[in-house]
Structure 1
Amino acid sequence: MALTITPLPAALGATVTGLDLSSGISNELVDLLHHAWYEHLVLFFPEAHLTLDQHIALGETFGRLAATTTGDEDYRGQPTLGQNGEVLVLDASTPQGRANAWHTDVTFAKTPPNGSLLAMQICPPTGGDTLWSNQYNAYDALAPAMKDLIGGLDAMHGRPGLTGLNPHPMVKVHPVTGRKALFVNRGWTTSIVGMSQTESIGLLASLFNHAEKPEFNTRWHWTSGDAALWDNRCTMHYAVNDYEEAPRILHRVTIYDR
Structure 2
Amino acid sequence: MPAHNIVSITQTLSVKPLEPTVGAEISGVDLSRPLSVQQRDEIHALILRHKVLFFRDQHITSEQQIAFAAQFGELYEHPTTRKQDNGKPQAHLILATEAREAYGNAPKGRWHTDTSWLLKPTWGAVLRAVSLPALGGDTVWADSGLVYRSLPDELKARIDSLFVTHNFKPALDKVGYPYPILAHPLVRTHPETFEDALFINFSMSPQVIGWSVEESRSLVAELLKHFSNPEYHVRFKWTPGTVAFWDNRALLHYPVYNYGEFERVMERVLIADNDIPHRVRQPAAPALEGSPA
- Normalising by structure 1, report the TM-score: 0.90
Partner Cα separation in structure 1 for residue 122 and residue 187 of structure 2: 16
2:152 pairs with 1:143: yes
Corresponding residue of 1:44: 54
Structure 2 match to 1:248: 264
Name the one with the larger strand percent. 1
* Residue 237 (structure 1) aligns with: 253
Match of 1:157 in 2: 166
Contact 1:99 1:238 in 2 (8 A): no
Alpha-carbon displacement from aligned partner over 1:4-40 (angstroms, at most 9, x marks no partner): 1111135410001121245421100111000000000
Tell me, in whole angstroms, the C-alpha distance in 2 between the residues paired with 1:10 and 1:93.
Answer: 35
> Hey, what's the Cα distance between the residues in 1 that align with 2:167 and 2:133?
30
Compare 155-164 and 60-69 and name the one that shifted more: 155-164
* Residues in 1 aligned to 2:128 and 2:205: alpha-carbon distance in whole angstroms: 26
Equivalents in 2 of 1:161, 1:93: separation in Å?
Answer: 18
> Counterpart amino acid of 2:49?
E
Q: Is the 8 A contact 2:142 2:253 kept in 1?
A: yes
* Aligned residue identity for 2:191: P
Runs (4+) of structure 1 moved beyond 6 Å? none
Asked if structure 2 preserves the Cα contact closer than 8 Å seen for 1:120 and 1:226, the reply is yes
TM, length-normalised to structure 2: 0.80
The corresponding residue for 1:72 is none
Report the CA distance between 1:64 and its aligned residue. Answer: 1.2
Distance 2:112 2:135 in 1: 23
Structure 1 counterpart of 2:15, which letter? Answer: I
Which residues of structure 2 form unaligned runs of 5+? 1-11, 173-179, 275-293
Q: Tell me, yes or no, if structure 1 residue 89 matches structure 2 residue 93.
A: yes
Equivalent residue, structure 2, for 1:108: 117
SS in 1 for 2:78: coil
Shift of 1:174: 0.1
The answer to whether the Cα contact below 8 Å between 1:156 and 1:167 also exists between their aligned partners in 2 is yes
Structure 1 residue identity aligned to 2:218: G
**Identity of matched residues, %:** 34
Q: Which structure's CA Rg is the greater one?
A: 2
Cα separation, 1, equivalents of 2:249 and 2:32: 30
1:56 and 1:143 map into 2 onto residues whose CA distance is 41
CA RMSD of aligned residues (A): 2.0
Matched positions, count: 250
Q: Is the 8 A contact 2:13 2:26 kept in 1?
A: yes
CA shift for structure 1 position 242: 0.7
CA distance in 2, matches of 1:63, 1:212: 31
